[in-house]
Amino acid sequence: IPALASSRIKCWAITLAAYSYEMKHKPGYQLANANALSRLSLPEQPKSVPMPHNVVLLLHHISDTIVHASTIKEWTASDPVLSRVCKLVQTGWISDETSAAIFP
């Protein structure tokens, strides 16, 4: 996804990334069925419909959730199991280390 793409384009790119598809161009006069179906009303009104601005705001927060190496280092240091494993890897593994928490 280009860095300068609009939030709407990013939203569609994320949604469509889950599918395998091939795009083919069709002229507008061949799309009469889709046009008619898109204008039909729903038999029942949904209880809630996500508002587009909520989706856009979510996309704005995606760039804020990037995790940096320094953050991972802090989280690892504060986790008792991971900090123990890091210490064992750096200083040498103790052969009699039998704590079930550090083994997968």
pLDDT in tens, 23-46: 888 888 888 888 777 788 877 877
Tell me which residue range forms the domain holding 80.
69-102
Q: Which of 15, 5, 1 is nearest to 55 (CA)?
A: 15
Residue 44 resides in a domain: no
Residues 62 and 80 in one domain: no
DSSP one-letter string for 32-77: HHHHHHHTSPPSS--S----HHHHHHHHHHHGGGPPPHHHHHHHHH
Mean pLDDT within 81-104: 77
pLDDT digits (tens, 9 = 90+) for 51-89: 666 666 666 666 666 778 888 899 899 998 888 888 888
Residue 57 resides in a domain: yes
Per-residue confidence (pLDDT) for residue 78, from 0 to 100: 92
Residues 7 and 19 in one domain: yes
Higher pLDDT, 2 or 69: 69
